Amino acid sequence: MDFRSFLCCTKPSDRKEKGKKEITWRIFSLKELHAATNNFNYDNKLGEGGFGSVYWGQLWDGSQIAVKRLKVWSNKADMEFAVEIEILARVRHKNLLSLRGYCAEGQERLIVYDYMPNLSLLSHLHGQSSSESTLDWPRRMAIAIGSAEGIAYLHHHATPHIIHRNIKANNVLLDEDFKPLVADFSFAKLMPDGATHVTTRVKGTLGYMAPEYAALGKASESCDVYSFGILLLELASGKKPIEKINSTSTRSIKEWALPLVYARKFSEIADPKMNGTYVEEELKRVIFVGLICAHDQPEKRLTILEVVELLKGELKEKFVAIESDEMFVTGRSADCNDEASVADNSSGFISEDKQEQVQEIEKAA
């Protein structure tokens, strides 16, 4: 099956905005991408994810690109590639990493993006840049609000609405000014008009997956909100979504944070790398909003539009109601029954191949 048959509406376009033409993306030749990445040289490799490897490159005009190269071609991978291109070509928002172009020659499938010089949020929280304390509190707040705005565009403004399904610190990239751009749409789903959820094969990353999605494959906007809640806790604390506490057990970031919230010990949640330099009111906001977003019961979670407003310090009455939610006043840790306890691999990545036996049933509720 040829992926081009899926790209019905996806043509390189000259968008006319207020009289001026804006070229959005184009098709690249394999030869051009070989030249840009020094033949996909190992030294150019930025990392590897579910889709394949990502390489840094430079085009003839001097602009820097990131090229994602599909690992192994298959009909299914080709379909996913088409979905990502189709979705990327639709979205345009200051906090979403948009498509620069793609290449499909023979069995090669490549996606071209702008290179983000500050890499991913993950690399600053836990990776190679984490020791450099590049993430002060104002930057963390701007990252929280900007990425929530990017997701709000997907959930509420894109037509049809889009669920991302892979919100995590690796997929929030940072430009030269540390502006966040939510990336990676290969798992994304277009929501049929009026649907509350779609039932689908489970793909995602352990530690970020809402329980109803991990267990039943029920994907909805509120699953992205759950993942975003985990990301907020990570941003405030510098902790990973799941930590190994000894050779046999793990603990989720929620299980760790909730007792500290019962005791109102917010300073113990704050990332020590900030050396106490944060705005206490904002820190509290990020923690409460993060935890309520990551509630096990989907109906208790916020919408991402509410998240944006709350993070900006608006919806004050709503915030008071959240602070006094039973989740934060009882000592009962009933909300910690998440998928951390079933973490059984170190990467935490659930690929579709491991879920082959789960039949995909796509239906609008």
Residue 244, φ and ψ in degrees, nearest 5: -80, 125
Q: Identify whether the C-beta of residue 294 lies closer than 8 Å to the C-beta of residue 168.
A: no
Q: Give the residue with the Cβ less far from ligand ATP, 69 or 295.
A: 69
Choose between 68 and 155: whose C-beta lies nearer to ligand ATP.
68
18 annotated to a ligand binding site: no
Contact 44, 117 (CB under 8 A): no
Q: Which stretch binds Mg ion (CB under 5 A): 57-65, 154-162, 163-171, 322-330?
A: 163-171
Phi-psi region of 298 (alpha: psi -120 to 50; beta: other; left: phi over 0): alpha
Task: Identify which of residues 48 and 268 has a Cβ nearer to ligand ATP in the complex.
Answer: 48
CB of 66 to ligand ATP, least distance (A): 3
Residue 184 or 234 having the CB closest to ligand ATP: 184
Q: Which of 95, 123, 171, 205 binds Mg ion (CB under 5 A)?
A: 171
Among 84, 184, 224, 282, binds Mg ion (CB under 5 A): 184
Closest distance of CB 125 from ligand ATP, Å: 12
Measured CA distances, 52 to 55, 69, 252 (Å): 10, 5, 28
Question: Taking the complex as a whole, how short is the minimal distance between the CB of residue 340 and ligand ATP, in angstroms?
Answer: 18
Q: Does 119 bind ligand ATP (CB under 6 A)?
A: yes
Q: What residue 119 binds from Mg ion, ligand ATP, none (CB within 5 to 8 A, per partner kind)? A: ligand ATP
Shortest reach from residue 346's CB to Mg ion, in Å: 17
Q: Which residues of 193-221 are buried (b: 16+ CB within 10 A; e: fewer)?
A: eeeebbbbbbbbbbbbbbbbbbeebbbbb
For residue 348, with 0-12 CB atoms within 10 Å meaning exposed, 13-18 middle and 19 or more buried, which class applies?
A: buried
DSSP string, 213-228: HHHH-EE-HHHHHHHH
CB of 19 to ligand ATP, least distance (A): 30
Residue 321 φ then ψ, to 5°: -65, -40
Three-state DSSP state, 255: helix
Q: Determine which residue in the list 10, 147, 170, 220 makes contact with ligand ATP, applying CB under 6 A.
A: 170
Phi/psi-derived region of residue 52, left when phi > 0, alpha when psi is between -120 and 50, beta in every other case: left
Among ligand ATP, Mg ion, none, the one that 125 touches (CB under a kind-dependent 5 to 8 A) is none
Binding site for Mg ion (CB under 5 A): 49, 170-171, 184
The site for ligand ATP (CB under 6 A) is made up of: 46-51, 54, 66, 68, 97, 113, 115-116, 119-120, 166, 170-171, 173, 183-184
Residue numbers in the known binding site for ATP are 68
